[in-house]
Structure 1
Amino acid sequence: MLEVGSVAPAFTLPDKDGNSVSLSDFAGKKVVLYFYPKDSTPGCTRQAQAFRDAFAQFAAEGAVIIGISKDSVKSHFNFAAKQELPFILLSDTEKEVLQAYEVWQEKKLYGKVSMGVVRSVYVIDEDGKIAAAWTKVKPEQSAADALAFVCSCNK
């Protein structure tokens, strides 16, 4: 996990429509960056729905939500359409951003070891620094935790 206070690694990735999106596009805003394993799986769907349901509250606090996984642009397009996701989904098929944010790690599932995305959330402040970080988050809880943090920053 990257340390709170460190500069967030810069990136440019394609969104669900194939448009390039860079972290620098959101300079001066809070960015809630969440990393998840795979589109349309039960846990990832619940997590995306939680961010969707809190989208207006994040927007009211001036925060942008960005979800990143290694899924393709087409997969993100379908996932966003099916779940009516109003926020940005970015495709990192080369896993460069996943590695830069230290979320591409060895995982164990039923005794099998493989590489994968560790469900994580970062809040990046208006100056591009990591203000908060959570790893191995629960899908349903991660949006609420990030929202509580963002709200506490604006008081």
Structure 2
Amino acid sequence: MLKVGDALPNFESLNQDGETINSEKFKGQKLVIFFYPQASTPTCTVEACNLSDNYSELEKAGFQLLGISGDSVKKQKNFHSKFAFPYDLIADESRDIIEKFGVWQEKKTFGKTYMGIVRTTFIFNEKGTCTRVIEKVTSKTAAQQILEEN
């Protein structure tokens, strides 16, 4: 998994509107990238809505936000439209970005073991260096977790 001190990996994929978004767009800006397992699922919705509800506070702290999951552009579009998120959602069906960040891992639910996205938030400074990794994301207070050590 990407660690504190690591550089923002180069990436490129489509957002919810089918537009190409790449890591170059965020050079010189503080960036929060949150990975979530699946669009429109209960816990992911709580997390994404908490970040949306607190977006102005995150913006005041200088952060740009980007959500990433392995969902299709269409699923991201539906999720984005339903809740009118003020930030982009990236469709990473190839798992290229997910793999670069190291969040595709073995998970266990109800005694079943499977591979999936581990809910993780990465914070980068203006130089593109990772300053913080939040591995134990609390969906209901995701924005507060980001802001608490800012």
Per the shorter chain, which TM-score range? over 0.9
Question: Is this contact kept in 1: 2:37–2:70, CA < 8 A?
Answer: yes
Aligned to 2:75: 75
Aligned to 1:105: 105
Q: Which secondary structure does the structure 1 equivalent of 2:140 belong to?
A: coil
How far did 1:98 drift? 0.6
Equivalents in 1 of 2:28, 2:86: separation in Å?
21
> C-alpha offsets along residues 11-70 of structure 1, whole Å, 9 cap, x if unaligned?
111000000111111111000000000011100000000000111111122210000000
Q: Which secondary structure does the structure 2 equivalent of 1:132 belong to?
A: strand
Equivalents in 1 of 2:29, 2:148: separation in Å?
16
Q: Which secondary structure does the structure 2 equivalent of 1:46 belong to?
A: helix
Equivalents in 1 of 2:56, 2:136: separation in Å?
25
| Structure 1 runs (4+) greater than 6 angstroms displaced | none
Aligned to 2:27: 27
In angstroms, what is the RMSD of aligned CA positions? 1.0
How far did 1:109 drift? 0.7
How far did 1:142 drift? 2.1
Aligned to 1:86: 86
How many pairs does the alignment contain? 150
Range 53-62 or range 16-25, more displaced: 53-62
Q: Which secondary structure does the structure 1 equivalent of 2:28 belong to?
A: coil
Aligned counterparts, 1:5-154, within 5 A = 5-149=5-149, 152=150
Equivalents in 2 of 1:85, 1:147: separation in Å?
19
**Structure 1: runs of 5+ lacking an equivalent:** none
**Structure 2: runs of 5+ lacking an equivalent:** none
